[in-house]
Chain A
């Protein structure tokens, strides 16, 4: 499952970081159509990354909250990637003068 492998889908997911949003507001910040955003949300929901609930006539999406173990796992991955980028920066700097 590579729910966040697609850049647009990742952008859709990132839009929910600030809090729950209806589809229209998620789509408003993105250069893709609303049906396309709905499609991405369906994939994210299927992956268990977002949840939705009906609010009047609108459907509101939010990130699925998780626990500390996952937070640590996240940072573990984040630091691995960040340190690799750090190494590149140090060594390019050295090599490129």
Chain B
């Protein structure tokens, strides 16, 4: 795994609030800040955002969107130590291997440093069956990839 760490995506942000607040907003209030209108399973299907998004802040908790009575899984919570750390799966497209997101919350002088590491990309091994699925027409990944490229070009 260590040899693949260079593939991980790393981002951080400092928020003017204590770790308890930062952790709570990240997990229990995720649907208030996550861009559901563009980044959700429902939006990918019929273009409308789901009603709700839940990231349950405990180990074994579920990560899912909900519209009416219908739920769609995004993954599950692997580790959780409120208000310091949460690790959850990103498995929005079941045809792709899951990736993992670790978020840590560290108290500092000016607030809380929130560090995010999105890893597990090595599971998309070139030539593997999943890699082929991943590259399939209309796959979530292909879409996201192209969208990113265009967004980058536009920036």
Contact = CB atoms under 8 A, between A and B. Distances in A.
A78 B146 CA distance: 13
A84 B114 CA distance: 11
Interface residues of A, number: 50
Given A1-B150, A72-B9, A85-B34, A62 B138 contact: yes
Interface residues of B, number: 51
Q: Is the interface of A mostly helix, strand, loop or mixed?
A: helix
B38 A64 contact: no
Interface of B: 7, 9, 11-17, 21-22, 25-26, 29, 32-35, 38-39, 43-47, 114, 116, 118, 121, 124, 134-154
19 contacts: A2-B150, A18-B138, A63-B137, A65-B136, A65-B138, A65-B139, A68-B121, A70-B148, A71-B124, A71-B144, A71-B148, A73-B149, A74-B148, A83-B114, A86-B13, A86-B33, A87-B13, A87-B15, A89-B32
